[in-house]
């Protein structure tokens, strides 16, 4: 990273690492969390209404709703626990650049990224959303794409807290 825009002239921090298949799966799970919760709520309500209809004597409608609700919950579980990790492992194997080493450097104004195939530099205010789970942080661009920051890349909790404080400046 260069100093032409002043990123390295002030106090900065940096992290470096490569993405593992687990990092991609954790990012996908965090990105999809609100959708999954919504699907689970709708599926659970369908199953509960189905049970109520079965108890009330509406066998056909009750069975259909109960089976649909259970099917929705099972489908989300299968996708989350089996299909998503499988797909991300295959994607990472096919695309070697996903195994590249990434370096992120930041200060209070900007976040810069560099890998073997790309470089970028953005102001913290250019990001529109921030999400966090136990394993990863996601910073969203305006087009709903996101950058993944595995927590294992951070040296310590102080560095992670500093990054989080800057990331929380995003426009929500």
Q: Quote the pLDDT of residue 30.
A: 93
Q: Quote the pLDDT of residue 1.
A: 42
Asked whether the predicted pLDDT for residue 164 surpasses 60, the reply is yes
> How confident is residue 107, by pLDDT bands cut at 50, 70 and 90?
very high
Q: Quote the pLDDT of residue 50.
A: 95
Q: Quote the pLDDT of residue 98.
A: 62
Q: State the DSSP code for 33.
A: H
DSSP for 39-97 reads: HHHHHHHHHHHHHHHHHTT-HHHHHHHHHHHHHHHHHHHHIIIIIHHHHHHHHHHH-GG
Average pLDDT score, the chain: 86
Most distant CA pair in the chain: distance in Å? 74
Q: Quote the pLDDT of residue 110.
A: 93
Q: Quote the pLDDT of residue 100.
A: 79
Kindly list the domain boundaries of the chain, sorted by start residue. 21-96, 100-167
Instruction: Express as a percent the part of the chain with pLDDT over 70.
Output: 88
User: Strand pairing of 101-106 and 110-114?
Assistant: antiparallel
> How confident is residue 172, by pLDDT bands cut at 50, 70 and 90?
low
Span 100-167: which CATH code? 2.30.29
pLDDT in tens, 53-97: 999 999 999 999 999 999 999 999 998 888 888 887 777 666 665
CA angle 27, 30, 34 (to 5 degrees): 150
């Amino acid at each position: 990273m260069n100093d032409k825009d002043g990123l390295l002239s002030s106090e900065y921090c940096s992290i470096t690492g490569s993405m593992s298949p687990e990092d991609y799966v954790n990012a996908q799970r965090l990105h999809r969390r609100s959708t999954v919760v919504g699907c689970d709520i709708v599926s659970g309500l369908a199953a509960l209404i189905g049970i109520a209809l079965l108890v009330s004597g509406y066998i056909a409608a009750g069975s259909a709703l109960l089976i649909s609700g259970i099917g929705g919950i099972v489908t989300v579980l299968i996708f989350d626990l089996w299909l998503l990790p499988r797909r991300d492992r295959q994607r990472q194997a096919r695309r070697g650049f996903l195994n590249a080493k990434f370096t992120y450097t930041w200060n209070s104004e900007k976040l810069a990224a560099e890998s073997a195939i790309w470089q970028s530099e953005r102001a913290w205010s250019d990001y529109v959303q921030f999400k966090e789970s136990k394993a990863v942080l996601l910073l969203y661009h305006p087009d709903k794409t996101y950058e993944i920051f595995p927590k294992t890349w951070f040296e310590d909790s102080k560095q992670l807290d500093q990054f989080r404080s800057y990331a929380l400046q995003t426009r929500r």
